[in-house]
Chains A and B, each alone.
Chain A
Amino acid sequence: MASEPGGLTEYIQHHLTHLVPHASKEGFWAVHLDSVAVSLVLGVLFCFWFWLKARKATAGVPSKGQAFVEIVLEFVDGQVKDVFHGDRRVLGPLALTVFVWVFLMNAMDLLPVDLLPWITEKFGIGHFRAVPTADINMTFAMSITVFLLIIVYSFKAKGFGGYMHELFTAPFGKHPALWIPNFALNLVELLSKPVSLAMRLFGNMYAGELVFMLIAGLFSAGAGLAGWALYGAGIIGYTVWGIFHILIISIQAFIFMVLTIVYISMAHDHH
């Protein structure tokens, strides 16, 4: 593909283009169908998988599938229990969903970067990005949801008056002259949470995807013996980056989950 006019740049450009309903649609209404489809499929897959195991769960010796689900569940619940000291009936499942869903979406990065586009092209779809978490819309969708939950939990734990009091009097003090600085600081703190949450995940996954594409460029970078050498280097590089990426996708899913828990438990606790 790099041999086509435009070379590697066009190859990457091509791969970084989202699937939209009509090429004519631009801006706000250019919905990224690929992100929506892949995230939905993975979400449904996760729900169905865990529902199946939960439905067949026994109090006796678990099957391997049930044991795996239990291990994941216990791991997530342990993380929530460490940070959040309250009713875990909402936050526990939320953390589980965030962790498994983000992990599955990140894991799409491990698929060969040309595989899904190649398949979709057979059905006449030219652009297809397989990793929803490398789409900033997806990560912001999740982080803004978390942000709304932070607000809801703040009101629930402290009441309207209590929360307003905290926004205007912490961290400097109660003096009316300090209300504005306090509020400004709290606003920055509050708004930085969803932004950092979304940008961290997006940045990691986008960069990871880009590195995969750059390495994939090696496959068609040369001709003759040098070409074959580069081809071999491409395979090695692609594999090594893939193995390293297993770590990254796990860590990013874990960080997103832990920060979600931390933010919500901070909202829940009194200062």
Chain B
Amino acid sequence: MDFNATLIGEMIAFAILIWFCVQFIWPHINKAIEERQIKIAEGLSAAERAHAELKAADTKVADEVRKARQQASEIIDKAQQQANGILDKARADAIAEINRLKAVAQDDIAAMAQQAREQLRERVGALAVQGASKIVQREVDASTHKALLDQLAAEI
């Protein structure tokens, strides 16, 4: 078989056929391929987005829980402090009251002791006058010797 025009004609027809495929058949296949690629890419990115969102939500929840726990512990601390403060104040108040009452009582006691001492002094004075008058067997005018008696009482 020799190379001749038959083969050239067939090759021209073949070239047109290839052109036809490139022009009208391949674009359809290519479109399907590209659509598939886009679909898959979109699906994957959507899945990734959902995953990221889930992760963000998870961290947010963890954050909130942590914050709430911290707040709760702060509140407990504050309450404890307050309770301690109230207790301290009550204790201090009580001690102050006790001291005050003690001071008042001591004052009273001192006053009473003073009073008793004074009364005793007066009674001793009177007893001394009585004794002296019995000794001298005569009435001593109390008013005349009042200055002397007072001096005596003070010495006692």
Contacts and interface: CB of A to CB of B under 8 A. Distances in A.
Interface string B3-24: 1111111111110110011000
Contacts of A14: 1
Given A60-B44, A220-B5, A238 B10 contact: yes
Contacts of B4: 1, 220
A243 interface: yes
Contacts of B36: 62, 67, 70-71
A219 B25 CA distance: 27
A194 interface: no
Nearest to B11: A112
Nearest to B36: A67
Contacts of B17: 110, 239, 242-243
A219 B33 contact: no
A121 B30 CA distance: 37
Interface residues of B, number: 29
A142 interface: no
Interface hub of A71, A112, A242 (most chain B Cβ within 10 A): A112
B32 A235 contact: no
Given A14-B1, A68-B29, A71-B33, A235 B9 contact: yes
B130 interface: no
Contact of B13 (A62, A118, A121, A238): A238
Contacts of A115: 7, 10-11, 14
Contacts of B46: none
A112 B40 contact: no
Nearest to A217: B6
Contact of B25 (A60, A126, A220, A246): A246
B73 interface: no
A220 B1 CA distance: 14
Complex A-B, nearest 5 residue pairs according to Cβ-Cβ distance, in ascending order:
A112-B10, A238-B13, A219-B9, A242-B17, A219-B6
Given A68-B29, A70-B36, 7 more contacts: A62-B37, A115-B11, A219-B5, A220-B4, A231-B5, A242-B20, A246-B25
